[in-house]
Structure 1
Amino acid sequence: MIEDNQSVAEMMGMFFQKENWEVVNAYDGEEGLAQFKADPEGFDIITLDLNLPKMDGMQVAKEIRQLSQSVPLIMLTARDTESDQVLGLELGADDYVTKPFSPMTLVARIKALHRRAEVSETQSPATESADADYDVETKHFKLSTKTREAFLDDVPIEGLTPKEFDLLHTLAGNPKQVFSREQLLQLIWDYEYYGDERTVDAHIKKLRQKIEKVGPQIIQTVWGVGYKFDDSGLDV
């Protein structure tokens, strides 16, 4: 937990201990980043405050993501503006919680993210097979949950975070079906809708940027409803 408010850290520490979680605290950005760099594989999840001394939480998130695309990251922010929250998500946070927050809400979010991370790990084998079966395969698109790879016209879509891959898998596994933001929050983030639809929008934006590096856009917006996967336009 990278949090400069010691009272908040101590309060959350008591709730974490009830869950039998081992907690490591850092009280400024530089200390938190240094602890993660020292053992990038040693942490199951990170909570990161946005306003930190010595190094801003945004910069810490950016550098953590350069070291690891997979460690779940929850950003804690007292800033209740859309631009700050979306920027945090675009920098690699998997979720955000706005202060003041209920300790049980944060615990629930941590459990949800950790469950999803565990599922991702069990789906990823130690070695990848070049001719692995694909869970989703259309004329232009292929996706394998075994290798956690996705291809558009046989070109790999690279650098997908766990959440971006799960989003793509959910949408592509149900082509042309429209999913609302609320449905995607429940399916991908594993928690009920609390008005955090910007979480979905920010991840969709990053996913689209990575898709557009290799080909035409296959994630479509259905205005006023949500998003869908549709690669039929590539035949034109």
Structure 2
Amino acid sequence: MSALVLLVDDEPAIVQLARMYLDREGYRVHAVHDGEAALEAVRRLNPDVMVLDIMLPKVDGYEVCRRLRAEDHPIPIIMLTARDDDIDKILGLELGADDYLTKPFNPRELVARVRALLRRSERWGRTGDEERPQPLRLGNTVIDPGAREVRVAGEVVPLRTQEFELLWVLAQHRNMVLSREQLLRLAWGYDFAGQTRTVDVHVAQLRKKLRGSDLRIETVTGVGYKLVA
């Protein structure tokens, strides 16, 4: 069965356009128009990915995202914002969104983002045990891609899907400098100009969660990031 996309927006024109392009790609689409309905749909339908507008009736997109992440719900979330201000994007990412798009957006770009998130979420599920990457031990930290789990000194560190993907890419290229554009391509699965702020926010979140780890994510000014083990 094709993947189910939950589309949450109160603008009929946006919903109609996004649905048309997602339908063309073979995705099933369920649309709702307010935050309360979005929360109910996530719990009832268990969609594969959610496209979530920030400005919604009843419960806004920030609060929807916050509540789902507080429940440790793993659904990939793409947030839509009508403003190009960094503060809107940063807040959404810090609350647990995996990605964002600024309105008005190219519907083909939306489809590409949805495809990338779904491909990443399904990656390990389609991989046989004999092909699955083995756990990587770096100092006091173990990164296990099969279990999608990180342990620091034996304790599990809860990471969201995108945080894990970013850490895994950095670990595979440890002691190498990767540009933000390279990280977008390798960890997010797409290459769109102007989205590098997404990388910065996720790196900041990883640094907070890995404070007890021997691993360090260093900033290389003007270039990108490097994981030092």
Q: Please report the TM-score for the alignment, with normalisation by the length of structure 1.
A: 0.86
CA distance in 1, matches of 2:170, 2:10: 39
2:145 aligned partner: 145
Aligned match of 2:15 in 1, 9, 27? Answer: 9
Tell me the equivalent position of 1:129. none
1:58 aligned residue: 62
Partner of 1:207: 206
1:215 Cα shift?
Answer: 3.9
Written as runs of structure 1 = structure 2, the 5 A alignment for 1:192-231 is 192-212=191-211, 214-215=212-213, 218-231=216-229
Contact kept, 8 Å, 1:124 with 1:146, in 2: the verdict is no
- Give the residue type in structure 1 aligned to 2:142: K
**Post-superposition offset of 1:173:** 1.9
Is the CA contact (8 Å cut-off) linking 2:139 and 2:215 kept in structure 1? no
How far has the Cα of 1:174 moved from its partner? 2.1
Q: Does the aligned pair in 2 maintain the 1:143–1:150 contact within 8 Å?
A: yes
The one-letter amino acid of 1:51's match is: M
Percent identical residues: 40
Q: Equivalents in 2 of 1:124, 1:197: separation in Å?
A: 33
Contact 1:123 1:145 in 2 (8 A): no
Say if 2:102 is the partner of 1:98: yes
Q: Deviations over 1:115-158 (max 9, x none)?
A: 11111434698xxxxxxx94322333322211222233x23342
CA distance in 1, matches of 2:123, 2:55: 31
| Distance in 2 separating the partners of 1:149 and 1:20 | 32
Return the alpha-carbon distance in structure 1 between the equivalents of residues 209 and 76 of structure 2: 20
- Give the 3 Å change call, closer, same or farther, for CA 47–93 of structure 1 in structure 2: same
- Structure 2 Cα separation of the partners of residues 75 and 49 of structure 1: 6
Aligned residue in 1 for 2:115:
111
Cα deviation 1:179-230 (Å, max 9, x = unaligned): 1100000001111131100110111111111111x34662111122111111
Instruction: From the two aligned structures, give the one with the greater strand fraction.
Output: 2
Instruction: Give the unaligned 5+ runs of structure 1.
Output: 126-132, 232-236
Q: TM-score, normalised by structure 2?
A: 0.89
CA contact (8 A) 1:171 1:228 kept: yes
Alignment match of 1:32 (pick from 38, 45, 52): 38
Give CA deviations for 1:61-120 in whole Å, capped at 9, x if unaligned.
111222344211100110110011011011111110100011111011111111111114
Q: Kindly report the root-mean-square deviation, in angstroms, between the aligned alpha carbons of the 2 structures.
A: 2.1
Letter of the structure 1 residue corresponding to residue 21 of structure 2: F
Partner in structure 2 of residue 234 of structure 1: none
